[in-house]
Amino acid sequence: MRIIRSTQNKVCVDGSRMKEFMLDEPLANEFLNFLKQFGTVRILNETELPFFSFEKENFISIKGFIGERSVEVRYKKEFSDLVADYFHLLLFYYREGDKGAAKLKRVENSIWKMMRVRMGLSE
């Protein structure tokens, strides 16, 4: 799965950044299973197309419909510069399966270290 284009980019009232991306293929359950390794995934089946949300605290939230190609990604204000590429990394490492998940967890640890420094917390 790859990003074809960004269709919307805005700053929200709370200071977070929102981007809407168009993907080259529809979102599938397999991708949501991959996301579960990195945060909280919720699926609502009460709509015509199942709606999902993914939350990774202090990183990003992702929302969209399973089977659709567009997705909304929000980046937390305080760390948006550190996590700006996180959605791209999720898509990239998803293609590598379990090996990709392990690699992404190492990348996440590096990002967390930078976040902790910014928050004034020791490693």
**Tens of pLDDT, residues 14-65:** 777 889 999 999 999 999 999 999 999 999 988 888 999 999 988 899 999 9
pTM: 0.87
In this prediction, residue 70 carries a pLDDT of 95
Q: Which helix (H) or strand (E) holds 117?
A: helix 97-118
| Sign of the torsion formed by the C-alpha atoms of 2, 29, 59 and 123 | negative
Q: Are 96 and 44 in contact (CB under 8 A)?
A: no
Q: What is the DSSP letter of 84?
A: T
Give me the domains of the chain, ranges plus CATH numbers: 3-118 (3.30.160)
pLDDT tens, residue by residue, 57-92: 888 999 999 999 999 999 888 888 888 889 999 999
